[in-house]
C-alpha cells in the first residue's frame, strides 16, 4: 500500500497489567450491586488487551501542555494518564452524551479532567496543546476526515503533537477483520454511527504536512489484537 513502510515494525508496547486495568475499571462499577456492569467489564477487557495506551504515552511528552482527546468515548485515556503520573490538564469530547455522562461520573476523583459532549465535526474547543485522535476517523466520510485532521492540527501548539491511531485501507486480513468488528460495534449499539471510510496513509500524511506538522513514519499499533491499527505521530516545531 502506498505510503506504508514495507513490513512496518510494530511499536514495542503492551496492554496494562491486570491490577492496573482492574483499578481503573473500579471507577466504572455501578453504585448498585444489580446495576449494569457493561462499562466495568469493557474497561477491564480494553485496557488489558489493547496496547494503545502504552504506545501513545511513549510519544506524549510530560511538558505540561494541555491534552485534547477527540472522540474520547468513556475517557479511559484520562485514567491511564493519571495512573502513570501525568498531570497535564485533560479535556475529552465525544458526540455520545451517554458515554460522556458516564465518563464524568467515573472521573469525579481525577484532578484537571473535564469532558464535554461535542461532535468532532463541530468547531473544536479553543485549546492549544497536544491532541489525541484515537480510533475515530473511520466513522467519518472522507471529506469530513480531512476537515477534522485540519481542525485538529490547528489545535496543536508549538512543540505539541497530534497522536493519531486509525485503521487503514490496506486490503489485507487485518483490514477485513477491522471492518467487520467496527460494523458489529455499530449494530450492537456500542458505536453511534457505522464505519464510513478507511483512510489511505498517503492522504493522511499529506494532509497533516499541509497543515504545518512534521509527520513521522506510520507504525503498527495492534499488539496481539487482530485489528489493523496504526499509529501516526505528527509534531509542530517549537517557536
Q: Are 197 and 142 in contact (CB under 8 A)?
A: yes
Total domains in the chain come to 1
Q: Is residue 134 scored above 60 in pLDDT?
A: yes
Q: Residue 8: its pLDDT value, please? A: 66
Element (H, E) at 104: helix 97-106
pLDDT in tens, 150-208: 999 999 999 999 999 999 999 999 999 999 999 999 998 888 889 999 999 999 999 99
Q: Is residue 6 scored above 50 in pLDDT?
A: no
Can you tell me the distance from the alpha carbon of 198 to that of 106, in angstroms, rounded to the nearest whole number?
31
Q: Residue 7: its pLDDT value, please? A: 47
Asked if the structure places residue 106 within a domain, the reply is: yes
Per-residue cell: 198: 478507511
pLDDT in tens, 65-80: 999 999 999 999 999 9
Inter-CA distances, 159 with 57, 132, 143, 236, Å = 16, 15, 27, 5
Can you tell me the distance from the alpha carbon of 109 to that of 113, in angstroms, rounded to the nearest whole number?
9
Asked if the structure places residue 12 within a domain, the reply is: no
pTM of the shown model: 0.93
Q: Are strands 67-70 and 130-134 parallel, antiparallel or unpaired?
A: parallel
List the single range of 2-6, 40-44, 127-131, 216-220 with lowest mean pLDDT. 2-6
Count the Cβ atoms, other than its own, within 10 Å of residue 46.
19
Asked if the structure places residue 8 within a domain, the reply is: no
Inter-CA distances, 37 with 26, 27, 229, Å = 10, 11, 27
Cβ neighbours for 212, distance < 8 A, ≥ 6 positions apart = 153, 236
Q: Residue 239: its pLDDT value, please? A: 78
Q: What are phi and psi of 171, to 5 degrees?
A: 75, 10
Asked if the structure places residue 195 within a domain, the reply is: yes
Asked if the structure places residue 194 within a domain, the reply is: yes
Asked if the structure places residue 29 within a domain, the reply is: yes
Asked if the structure places residue 39 within a domain, the reply is: yes
Per-residue cell: 129: 496543546
Q: Residue 4: its pLDDT value, please? A: 55
Residue 128 structural domain: 18-235
CATH of the domain at 230: 3.40.50.150
Asked if the structure places residue 129 within a domain, the reply is: yes
Amino acid at each position: 500500500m502506498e505510503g506504508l513502510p514495507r513490513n512496518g515494525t510494530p511499536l514495542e508496547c503492551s496492554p496494562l497489567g491486570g491490577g492496573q486495568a482492574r483499578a481503573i475499571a473500579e471507577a466504572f462499577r455501578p453504585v448498585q450491586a444489580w446495576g449494569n456492569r457493561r462499562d466495568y467489564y469493557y474497561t477491564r477487557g480494553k485496557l488489558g488487551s489493547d496496547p494503545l495506551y502504552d504506545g501513545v504515552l511513549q510519544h506524549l511528552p510530560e511538558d505540561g501542555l494541555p491534552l485534547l482527546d477527540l472522540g474520547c468515548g468513556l475517557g479511559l485515556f484520562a485514567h491511564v494518564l493519571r495512573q502513570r503520573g501525568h498531570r497535564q490538564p485533560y479535556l475529552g469530547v465525544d458526540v455520545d452524551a451517554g458515554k460522556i455522562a458516564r465518563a464524568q461520573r467515573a472521573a469525579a476523583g481525577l484532578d484537571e479532567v473535564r469532558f464535554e459532549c461535542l461532535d468532532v465535526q463541530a468547531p473544536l474547543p479553543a485549546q492549544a496543546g497536544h491532541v489525541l485522535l484515537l480510533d475515530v476517523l473511520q466513522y467519518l466520510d472522507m471529506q469530513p476526515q480531512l476537515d477534522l485532521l485540519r481542525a485538529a492540527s490547528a489545535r496543536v501548539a508549538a512543540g505539541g503533537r497530534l497522536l493519531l491511531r486509525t485503521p487503514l485501507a490496506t486490503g489485507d486480513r487485518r483490514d477485513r477483520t477491522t471492518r467487520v468488528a467496527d460494523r458489529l460495534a455499530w449494530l450492537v449499539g456500542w458505536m453511534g454511527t457505522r464505519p464510513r471510510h478507511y483512510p489511505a496513509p498517503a492522504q493522511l500524511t499529506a494532509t497533516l504536512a499541509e497543515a504545518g506538522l512534521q509527520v513521522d513514519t506510520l507504525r503498527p499499533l495492534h499488539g496481539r489484537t487482530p485489528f489493523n491499527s496504526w499509529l501516526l505521530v505528527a509534531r509542530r516545531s517549537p517557536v
